[in-house]
């Protein structure tokens, strides 16, 4: 399951920009075991990951990172999300915590399962987004459903590569 999430995450990360992403800041709340599990998984697949406690979100220096990942258990406050958003870095939100964190910015992602991915497929809300075009063009249309894998799970993602807001 985590290997499939890695594939989805990697497609998102490499599809956001022509610049290779190698350094990731991973914001976690209290579940250090889960955070270390993601770190190990991403490190083993070529990403250098630094774990950042949620309490340090507003004070941490994110200048050396290519992407910021919000863990499932990290429900960031509006102030913390505004601080991250001001860094002009791509942000990926995982699970309920990631989705709820983006809801703080009044983005209509839907952390309760009505948003990005339900079960094993994703509904395309904006086919013009980079994730659907690179590194492979999926030739999809708005409203289409793309099956990602065969087991059931919920994943929520928000990509913000240039500081602009993209909701899908």
3-state SS record for the chain? CHHHHHHHHHHHHHHCCCCCCCEEEEEECCCHHHHHHHHHHHHHCCCEEEEEEHHHCCCCCCCCCCEEEECCCCCCCHHHHHHHHCCCCCEEECHHHHHHHHHCCCCCCCCCCCCCEECCEEECCCCCCHHHCCCCCCCCCCCCEEECCCCCCCECCCCCCCCCCCCC
Does residue 7 or residue 22 have the better pLDDT?
A: 22
Q: What is the pLDDT of residues 26-57, one digit of tens each?
A: 999 988 888 998 899 888 888 899 999 999 99
Whether residue 2 has pLDDT greater than 70:
no
Write out the two tokens for 150. Answer: 């065969």
Query: Residue 7: pLDDT above 50?
Result: no
- Count of domains observed in the chain: 1
Listed in sequence order, the residues at least 6 apart from 160 whose beta carbon sits closer than 8 Å to its beta carbon are 85, 89, 90, 91, 166
Residue whose C-alpha is closest to residue 37's, from 25, 53, 46, 49: 49
pLDDT at 124: 77
155 within some domain: no
- Output the CA torsion sign for 12, 18, 20, 25: negative
Task: State which residues form the domain around 33.
Answer: 2-147
Q: Is residue 48 part of a domain?
A: yes
In-domain check, residue 90: yes
Contact status, residue 122 vs residue 116, Cβ threshold 8 Å: yes
- Give me the CATH number covering residue 28: 3.40.50
pLDDT greater than 50 at residue 153: no
pLDDT tens digit string along 69-126? 998 888 899 999 999 989 988 888 887 788 888 888 877 565 443 344 455 677 777 7
Query: Could you tell me if residue 49 is inside a domain?
Result: yes
Band of the pLDDT at 150, cuts 50, 70, 90? low
What is the per-residue pLDDT for 62? 95
The per-residue pLDDT for 149 is 63
């Amino acid at each position: 399951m985590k290997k499939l999430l890695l594939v989805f995450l990697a497609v998102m990360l490499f599809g956001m920009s022509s610049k290779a992403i190698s350094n990731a800041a991973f914001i976690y709340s209290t579940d250090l075991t889960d955070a270390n599990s993601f770190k190990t998984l991403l490190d083993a697949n070529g990403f250098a990951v630094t774990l950042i406690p949620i309490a340090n979100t507003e004070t941490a220096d994110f200048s050396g990172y290519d992407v910021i990942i919000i863990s499932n258990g990290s429900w960031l406050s509006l102030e913390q999300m505004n601080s991250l958003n001001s860094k002009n870095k791509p942000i990926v939100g995982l699970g309920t915590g990631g989705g709820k964190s983006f809801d703080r910015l009044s983005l209509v992602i839907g952390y309760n399962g009505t948003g990005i991915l339900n079960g094993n497929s994703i509904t395309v809300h904006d086919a013009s987004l980079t994730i659907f075009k690179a590194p492979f063009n999926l030739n999809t249309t708005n409203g289409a459903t793309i099956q990602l894998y065969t087991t059931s799970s919920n994943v929520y993602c928000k990509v913000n590569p240039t500081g602009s807001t993209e909701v899908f």
